[in-house]
Chains A and B, each alone.
Chain A
Amino acid sequence: MALLQISEPGMSTAPHQHRLAVGIDLGTTNSLVASVQSGLARVLDDERGRALLPSVVRYLADGGVSVGYEAQARQSEDPQNTIVSVKRFMGRGLKDLDKSSIPYRLLDEPGMVKLKTVQGVKSPVEVSAEILRLLRGRAEHALGGELVGAVITVPAYFDDAQRQATKDAARLAGLNVLRLLNEPTAAAIAYGLDHGVEGIYAVYDLGGGTFDISILRLSKGVFEVLATNGDSALGGDDFDQRVFCWVLEEAKLPPLNPRDTRLLLSKAREAKEYLTDHPEAHITAVLSSGDIVDLRLGLDDFNRLTQGLLNKTLAPTRKALRDAGLEAEEVQGVVMVGGATRMPCIRHAVAEFFGQTPLTNLDPDKVVALGAAMQADVLAGNKQTGDDWLLLDVIPLSLGLEVMGGLTEKIVPRNSTIPVARAQEFTTFKDGQTAMGFHVVQGERELVADCRSLARFELRGIPPMVAGAARIRVTFQVDADGLLSVSAREQASGVEAAVAVKPSYGLSDAEIANMLSDAHAHATDDLKARALNEQRVEAQSLLAALQAALALDGEQLLAAEERGAIETGMEALRRLSEGSDHLAIRAQVEALNRLTTPFAQRRMDRNVRRALAGQKVDSLGI
């Protein structure tokens, strides 16, 4: 007799059904989407067989939007409406940016800069969503169905504002974000799994606009990030910028208009890329004034111009090693990621620093997307126990609060493994004080002014007491995406007042809904049909998860009447999902989630016990 198959708890809920999930590398210069099919991760090409999608969005006067190669080709003609390297603006204010070569009309908005285009004011989140929407369409077309979710990669050194902005962009593009994954960690997964390596590895990731260095310990089935560091405003673009400035100087050019700026930046990039395989490059261009630029750039000149940038990557590398408590010699291999690591000067410097030839036997443009796809496959529940792996990542920058004197009190130190929560108690400064203001910051510096401001919030309704008597407990929670939430509670009086903040730069759910309805007003998509579909998917997913859990543990962990109640609830949800009332489905999903919480708790306890038992068996075996 054939045996019935039962999946592991928390693992694949429906082994026979492959859930469509993708990994997206949302890059400064190029973006990619990849997926695991038949056990193999591969990048999904466009209809012309191209893997890369230039991260360029052009807003047209007629209301259309063009994304990718076409937009890139027109950037010199229409520089103000053609947004290049939008990732640099994510979660950033005007004061964070170097405006010298930005041809856009920037608006300084609280939290995040915005861009004035022919289609009105656009936030970097909306621009990024255009790129993600196109990739989502490409994936759904290639995979032939709707996506369960996506893993979106972010630079490891992205702070909370930048992460939140990325997640908002994905939601705006209609993607269910399974996880935000750090780019070097994604690369380590792709590399580690392909080559079956173990030990300490460094991932040196120099992208178009960001630099990350991560130190990981790879052991069987576990990817543990020991430390990460970097610079979220340093990348291949800066090398172009150095060449661009050199051209201005050599050709003695006056300040340029946006169009010529764009043109010369493109020429600078071409020259940089040419120098990867050649000893010299020629830069020729005809400016709108009719002036002609004709210069020769030797590899030596280029190396001299960019030496400073190279050093800017080595300082974070030293810090990451120190945080990990390791010396360069202890690193077993260095994985190179990002198109900018093709530059010979980078490879030489990294080789010299680590005393070994870096690993370049994978495509530095694709490895992040491939790793993200592998992780998406696991998160979607397509892997069986034993075939999967565990990822233990960290937060890149310390989180803290402003205290007296404009100083930072660190609450969660950098390189803490996530998810992590830390609490600290504060008290009142004056007699009868009934409110307290909190300023949440991120960064390593002592002065608040030198850190990134994430949010301000107030706790009100503190019962009047003498100064120093109130006990306000502030809790920082960082989830598995590296996103922060903060709450505060007054405890001494027994009166509870609690607030949860979403950092100020993030979009509210209402704003997202508005943007979604705006976007759909142009298309024929029916919002309601969409909501219904989303709720149905949610209901199916919950039912499948519960089905699997009941099959495995229902007998053991539930009393007959408990099981009966759950099954009744599931039946009700099944019936409702056949109907068209998305609010009713939502309500039943929530009710069922509440109803099954004790069951989930028992299963979790049992899993924990199992882990302990397994570990004891191991230690007996030694």
Chain B
Amino acid sequence: MTPDFSADHFALFGLAAAFRMDGTALDRAWRELQAQVHPDRYAHAGEAEKRLSMQWATRVNEAYQTLKEPLRRADYLLQKRGIHALGERQTALPADFLMQQMEWREALHEAQQVRDAHAIEQLRRALKREAAGLTDLLARQLDEERAWDAAADTVRKLRFVQKLAEDVNLALAGLEEDD
């Protein structure tokens, strides 16, 4: 196989194009590739090689970041099938899911008001469980059922949950800073 600058992210790391993935193998392939292309290896080389090295290292990092995060990996697999799950024209999510989101948001807001770090921590754990559940679901939908549209819905849900989890982390950091 000839590595192609525009090659598929999975092919770049010699991995099968599937959602379930051996994270250790990805880490190892990333380091092996960087060991060959990183700009530090070409600091004393000619301009042509320096430029190429920077392009390659950038490309390898981009592919790594995309595959490392489950949400981005799932989105990438769908994009390869022409489905833009996170594009502008995304379909609405089920009402019960949105309701749950609102409840969580309210819980976060209330806990912030009364500076209840414990409640925020519990929310963080709940979101972590929810994200894990959605990730498992994605694995089934993408690798076994090949249910692309359903997977696209799951990707959107997972993004909601992750965004909320980020806000929860920010809230925790905010409480610490005020201490």
Residue A416 is within 8 A (CB to CB) of chain B in the complex: yes
Q: Are A611 and B2 within 8 A (Cβ)? A: no
B62 cross-chain contacts in A, Cβ below 8 A: 420-422
Question: What distance in Å separates the Cβ of A608 from its nearest Cβ neighbour in chain B?
Answer: 4
Q: Is the interface of A mostly helix, strand, loop or mixed?
A: helix
The CA-CA distance from A600 to B51 in the complex, in Å, is 10
Question: With A390-B38, A608-B33 given, is the CB distance from A600 to B46 under 8 Å?
Answer: yes
Q: Are B42 and A10 within 8 A (Cβ)? A: yes
Question: What distance in Å separates the Cβ of B20 from its nearest Cβ neighbour in chain A?
Answer: 16
The CA-CA distance from A599 to B49 in the complex, in Å, is 9
Residue A528 is within 8 A (CB to CB) of chain B in the complex: no
A221 cross-chain contacts in B, Cβ below 8 A: 35
Count A/B pairs, Cβ under 8 Å: 142
B54 cross-chain contacts in A, Cβ below 8 A: 419, 479-480
A392 cross-chain contacts in B, Cβ below 8 A: 31, 34, 38
Q: Are B32 and A611 within 8 A (Cβ)? A: yes
Q: Are A379 and B36 within 8 A (Cβ)? A: no
The CA-CA distance from A10 to B40 in the complex, in Å, is 9
The CA-CA distance from A422 to B62 in the complex, in Å, is 8
A603 cross-chain contacts in B, Cβ below 8 A: 49
The CA-CA distance from A621 to B54 in the complex, in Å, is 31
Residue A417 is within 8 A (CB to CB) of chain B in the complex: yes
Query: Could you say which interface size class chain A belongs to?
Result: 35 or more
A residues 362-412 near B (Cβ < 8 Å) are: 375, 378-381, 390-392
A597 cross-chain contacts in B, Cβ below 8 A: 48, 52
Residue A361 is within 8 A (CB to CB) of chain B in the complex: no
Question: What distance in Å separates the Cβ of A172 from its nearest Cβ neighbour in chain B?
Answer: 21
Residue A615 is within 8 A (CB to CB) of chain B in the complex: yes
A615 cross-chain contacts in B, Cβ below 8 A: 14, 25, 28-29, 32
Question: What distance in Å separates the Cβ of A551 from its nearest Cβ neighbour in chain B?
Answer: 14
The CA-CA distance from A378 to B35 in the complex, in Å, is 13
The CA-CA distance from A272 to B23 in the complex, in Å, is 48
Question: With A10-B49, A542-B46 given, is the CB distance from A611 to B36 under 8 Å?
Answer: yes
B57 cross-chain contacts in A, Cβ below 8 A: 419, 480
Of the candidates A390, A599, A612, the one whose C-beta lies within 8 Å of that of B34 is A390
Residue A348 is within 8 A (CB to CB) of chain B in the complex: no
Residue B44 is within 8 A (CB to CB) of chain A in the complex: yes
Residue B58 is within 8 A (CB to CB) of chain A in the complex: yes
Question: What distance in Å separates the Cβ of A15 from its nearest Cβ neighbour in chain B?
Answer: 13
B158 cross-chain contacts in A, Cβ below 8 A: none
Residue A604 is within 8 A (CB to CB) of chain B in the complex: yes
Question: What distance in Å separates the Cβ of B120 from its nearest Cβ neighbour in chain A?
Answer: 13
A614 cross-chain contacts in B, Cβ below 8 A: 32
Stretch at the interface among A28-36, A90-98, A194-202, A315-323: A315-323
Residue B67 is within 8 A (CB to CB) of chain A in the complex: no
A residues 568-622 near B (Cβ < 8 Å) are: 589-590, 592-594, 596-597, 599-601, 603-605, 607-612, 614-616, 618-619
Q: Are B46 and A592 within 8 A (Cβ)? A: yes
Question: With A419-B58, A616-B14 given, is the CB distance from A604 to B31 under 8 Å?
Answer: no
Stretch at the interface among B77-85, B129-137, B169-177: B169-177
Question: With A611-B33, A615-B14 given, is the CB distance from A545 to B56 under 8 Å?
Answer: no
Q: Are B58 and A605 within 8 A (Cβ)? A: no
Of the candidates B33, B38, B41, B56, the one whose C-beta lies within 8 Å of that of A612 is B33
Question: What distance in Å separates the Cβ of A153 from its nearest Cβ neighbour in chain B?
Answer: 15
- Report 24 cross-chain contacts, Cβ distance below 8 Å, ordered by A residue: A10-B36, A10-B45, A178-B43, A178-B44, A315-B173, A315-B177, A319-B173, A322-B169, A380-B43, A381-B44, A390-B35, A392-B31, A421-B58, A480-B38, A480-B54, A546-B46, A592-B46, A593-B47, A604-B49, A604-B52, A605-B2, A612-B13, A615-B32, A616-B14
Chain B residues close to A by CB (< 8 Å): 1-3, 13-14, 25, 28-29, 31-49, 52-54, 56-58, 61-62, 64-65, 169, 172-173, 176-177, 179
Chain A residues close to B by CB (< 8 Å): 10-11, 13, 19, 148-149, 178-179, 221-222, 224, 311, 315, 318-319, 322, 375, 378-381, 390-392, 416-422, 477, 479-480, 541-542, 545-546, 589-590, 592-594, 596-597, 599-601, 603-605, 607-612, 614-616, 618-619
15 more A-B residue pairs beyond the given contacts A322-B173, A378-B40, A615-B14, with a C-beta to C-beta distance below 8 A: A148-B44, A178-B44, A221-B35, A390-B31, A419-B54, A420-B58, A420-B62, A541-B44, A600-B48, A601-B52, A604-B56, A605-B2, A608-B3, A615-B25, A615-B32
